[in-house]
Structure 1
Amino acid sequence: MTAPTQSSPGLRRELTLGGAIAIGLSSMIGAGLFSAFGPATAAAGSALLVGLLIAFVVAACNATSTAQLAAQYPTSGGSYVYGRERLGEWWGFMAGWGFVVGKSASAAAMALTVAAYAAPAAWLKPVALAALVVMVVLNLVGVTRTAQAARIIVALVLTGLAVVLVAAWLSTGPNAPTGFEAMFAGIGTRLSTASGWYGVLQSAGLLFFAFAGYARIATLGEEVRDPQRNIPRAIITTLLVVGAIYAVVALTLLAKLGAGGIAVSDAPLADAADAAGTAPWAAVLVRITAAIAALGALLAGIAGVTRTALAMARNHDLPPVLAAVHPKFGVPHIATIVLGVVVALLILVGDVREVIGFSSAGVLTYYFVANLAAFTQQSDNRRYPRWMQVLGMVLCALLVFTLPWQSLLGGIAMFGAGFLVRGIAELRRARNDASRGAHN
């Protein structure tokens, strides 16, 4: 197991069950809640709920596998550690590399999303950088502070979301003519062709990432109290809560906008509030809530990426300096600072929201490894039947190949670069070992 060494001390077990749930919720109730339904509905049409259901099933398989593995390996790194321990070093590297690179780009996208909702276009990058700095600092002062901030963010987001949804349902404005009746009538027609099912699967792939934040809980495994009990409980609780929230949001959007209205909207919740005849403040509240949600996703994303980087650095899959843990705050401070610099550069380079398609391939690969690793666990450590892990692997692989071709090529390039660099490093280490052996 990836473990702390004398030169790389362990992290502190200070995170309670409530804190773990808060970090998971802040990861999953991100800006995607306010924007993912548009492209997902464009792909699935009136069968949006079918895509959402498939995404939830994939997430449930992955979450149960992750929970089962986290109980046996309660250390930092998530699927990087699970793949390495149960399948081999290269499997672990594939999961860890996909997560670190993909989620670093996602962190930049979240920072830009905060700015897009909270500031004028001219201030986009300065505000994004300011948001990044604040979240990096919060991560540097300890995991308990991170959890406290996550609790506040989640409370604000859920409150704002609840107000908007209640206002939409209680308003006197007319429902969209393409509401529930047309939606249910159109599902069968939509699924009667191969292209219809392809669109639904692509929709599931887009919506799946709304559920993927429970991995953050597993990557913090070395900092959770009573991890064998609390990590599985936190993962499953978070998934069920978020699944219910997404179902309510999807039903609201379909009732107020219809599938056609959602598909052409950049801010479906704000448009649903307008269509329902609510006061102008509702759209303003949506923007504020979306900015706070993106901030929460950025906060939790930094925590997850740095813990995976810490685990990889301990095994020299990343530079060993990234394994340093701050003696006072008990966090991987160098990894956090380095990630902050990398994300800041990505923000300055351009609008990475348009070029992070490979992140999708990385996350699905990450969970494919998790399901495969869980499949190999013995009866003493099993909590869920093996068919769930098989279903998870099949669906992860299927969703990868339904991604747009640009995303698929980006993922192949990302993993190819990572394997090449690691292969060169392995050859150098082997030559150095052989050279030392010859001299001895």
Structure 2
Amino acid sequence: MSHTPPQALHRQLGTGSAAMLGLGSIFGTGVFVAIGLGIDIAGVWIVPAILVAGLVAACNALSSAQLAASIPVSGGTYEYGYRLLHPLAGFTAGWLFLLAKSASAASAALGASAYGLRLVGLSNTMVIVAVGAGLSVAVTILVLSGLRRSNMVNTAIVSLTLIALLAFVIAAFPETANLCHSVDWPARLSEAPGWSDFAYAAALMFVAYTGYGRIATMGEEVHAPESTIPRAIVATLLISLLVYIAVAVCMVATLPLSTGKSLAEMSTPLELAAQALQVPSLSILVSVGAVAAMLGVLLNLVLGLSRVVLAMARRGDLPKPLSLISQQGNPNRAVIVVGLVILALVLIGNIETVWSFSAFTVLIYYAITNAAALRLADADRRYPRWISVAGLLGCLSLAFFVPMAVWLAGIAVILLGLCFRVVLRLTGAERGSHTSD
């Protein structure tokens, strides 16, 4: 019997396209939902929380960039963990990526649904969930149609999102300037949250940066990955940091948020802030931009998740049929499985819990990324080792400040995944022995 080598994906993305894919993964739920959740937890201290999260994300971004440049294949930290640490570390990273980003994708679908329904005056929870489920199915079908068409749609989405955010920041500038001059800052800053609340807000905001990892998971699909991937990741992170700070400052000035909100209110904080400014059509533009942005997140996450499923199936950590690539160069079976998982999470309908779960799992994922970067040979190292050490410690420090029930659930699903791998390997070995007999 002849052995057929794994099929390769097509290299068709340059630096600009790769950066746009990263921004499409970042500018969505983070800026339109997570900042509101963070203000609810940390108040005016959301800006320092964004900076802390950005610093940790920067360390992770540089670790990811040098790993992706040295090992330019699909799979991201799943592959790096396998090659540089241990097969179990690689599997754990892949499993965590699937969990974290599926949760982020479900949050994006719910957020897009909530903002879209606000445009027509609807805020019923069941309707939000139903529309979110429909959006997840529609985006999965788009990804099945091929990467090139999806990339074109993503570019349009990012452009519209930036226009909406810029309009909000410009409209909110007078209110922000008034706040800066009139507020009693010593008294306001003395209302600092406890360290645990501050760290929780930073953990939630960390997830909002991690779209740059989307670029690393597509190592097989970019031209000159050794130079393209690092440039695209760094550019994506810097742009997102500036946008997050600008939007957060304006939101604090226009709409101090309170607890006890409905799903619709938790999912649409930026639209509520735009309404408070009473600028004609601004809330409509923000809602349209939000819908576009979170559809972009959903689109890019389905793409990235399917590539990790592809890489894991190639190694036998997921069922082998998921490694098949269509004649058009698309991993259709992996895309369908990812779409079904996201759909199941959307039906849960609790955006804060899902986002917190994503925070814990993605922080552990990037802890493994930094550990793998520490194992790079000196010839492959582009940045000092202390960057990866800082990223590793930062991720582990923030991960356990999410609610205890969430991180306990995260540990439980890690153990479940490891058990699943053992069963899959045992059944595969048993089938192989029967075949040889």
> TM-score, normalized by length of structure 1?
0.89
Residue of 206, 209, 212 corresponding to 1:208: 206
2:9 counterpart residue number? 11
Q: Which runs of 5+ in 2 are unaligned?
A: none
C-alpha RMSD over aligned residues? 2.5
| Contact kept? 1:201, 1:399, Cα under 8 Å | yes
- Residue 387 of structure 1 is matched in structure 2 by 386
Alignment of 1:313-328 (within 5 A): 313-328=313-328
Deviation at 1:6, TM superposition (A): 2.7
Contact 2:103–2:357, Cα closer than 8 Å, also in 1: no
Measured in 2, the distance between the counterparts of 1:340 and 1:183 equals 49
Paired with 1:238 and 1:123, the residues of 2 have a C-alpha distance of 34
Q: Which residue of 1 aligns with 2:151?
A: 147
Contact 1:156–1:289 (Cα < 8 Å) also in 2: yes
Contact 1:253–1:262 (8 Å) recurs in 2: no
The 3-state SS of whatever aligns with 2:194 is: helix
SS in 2 for 1:363: helix
Could you tell me which of 225, 228, 236 is aligned with 2:223? 225
Q: CA offsets per residue over residues 37-66 of structure 1, 9 Å max, x none?
A: 222123223322211110000110100000
SS in 2 for 1:350: coil
1:81 maps to 79
Gaps of 5+ in 1: none
Structure 1 residue aligned with 2:19: 21
Shifted more, 265-274 versus 412-421: the winner is 265-274
Judge conservation of contact 1:254–1:262 (CA < 8 Å) in 2: no
Aligned length: 424
**1:273-352 alignment runs, 5 A limit:** 273-279=274-280, 281-328=281-328, 330-347=329-346, 349-352=347-350
- 1:253-311: per-residue Cα shift (whole Å, max 9, x none)? 23333x566997744433433443423x2122222211111101000010110000000
Q: Which amino acid aligns with 2:158?
A: V
- Match in the other structure for 2:165: 161
Offset at residue 428 of structure 1 (A): 4.3
Is 1:270 aligned with 2:271?
yes
CA distance in 1, matches of 2:258, 2:343: 35
Distance 1:205 1:227 in 2: 30
| Maintained 8 Å contact 1:38/1:262 | no
Aligned ranges for residues 357-368 of structure 1 at < 5 Å? 357-368=356-367
Aligned pairs for 1:167-186 within 5 A: 167-170=171-174, 179=180, 182=183, 184-186=185-187
- Please tell me whether the aligned partners of residues 17 and 234 of structure 1 are also in contact (alpha carbons under 8 angstroms): yes
Q: Is 2:232 aligned against 1:234?
A: yes
| Residue-by-residue CA offset, 1:395-431 (whole Å, 9 max, x unaligned) | 1001111111121112011101101111233344566
Aligned twin of 1:254: 252
Q: Structure 1: how far apart are the matches of 2:132 and 2:260? A: 27
CA distance in 2, matches of 1:412, 1:180: 47
Identity of aligned residues (%): 38
Greater mean alpha carbon deviation, residues 157-166 or residues 38-47: 38-47
SS across alignment from 2:325 = coil
Would the aligned equivalents of 1:175 and 1:275 in 2 still touch at CA under 8 Å?
A: no
Which residue number corresponds to residue 41 of structure 1? 39
What TM-score do you get using the length of structure 2 for normalisation?
A: 0.90
Q: Distance in 2 between matches of 1:432 and 1:230?
A: 42
Answer whether contact 2:29 2:107 (CA < 8 A) is retained.
no
